Amino acid sequence: MEVFLEIIKYTFPALLMLLLTYLILSNFVDSEDKKRNFELRKLNQKNALPMRLQAFERLSLFLERITPSSLLVRIQSKDLNVQEYRILLLKAIREEFEYNLSQQIYVSEEAWRMVVTAKSATVSIVNNHAAKLDPKASGYELSKRILEGAMEMSIFPTRSAINFLKKEIQRDL
């Protein structure tokens, strides 16, 4: 029994020291790991911010380019009929969208949804106004109707999306 007490007398403090050393080292390693992760996140954010800003710029430019006042000035109706002009407008919108499709990885899901909704609304507006006209009518008549329709709206969908993008980027800065 005395030998057993002697063994406990020497092993208990050693086990206690081993446990304390383990806890201290474990805490230190966790702390260093958190610190390293924080630094890595900070570095990634520093590198990603310019790319996110560029994505917001490109998406804003896309939205501005498909706004009827800009789109109709850029794509002239010339000697086209309603159907030909509608196809030309939709092709321009689709090409602009496809060119900026990769930007969705840099913005939130909600921001991307706003961009897609604005694009779809613009396509819908073009199609609706074209459907109300005789297909053989002048493309100029279609552009006039689209502009009138856009002016009647209190806020055009592309403007709503741009405002949302502005708010989101201000939140990130």
Per-residue pLDDT of 7-27, as tens digits, reads: 888 888 888 999 999 999 999
> What is the domain-level CATH number for residue 153?
1.20.58
**pLDDT at residue 54, as a whole number:** 93
Q: How far apart are CA 99 and CA 68, in angstroms?
A: 19
Q: Does residue 34 belong to any structural domain of this protein?
A: no
Q: Which domain holds residue 56?
A: 51-172
pLDDT above 70 coverage of the chain, percent: 100
Q: Does residue 69 belong to any structural domain of this protein?
A: yes
pTM of the model: 0.74
CA-CA-CA-CA torsion for 133, 134, 137, 141, nearest 10 degrees? -10
Number of domains comprising the chain: 1
Q: Does residue 40 belong to any structural domain of this protein?
A: no
Q: Does residue 20 belong to any structural domain of this protein?
A: no
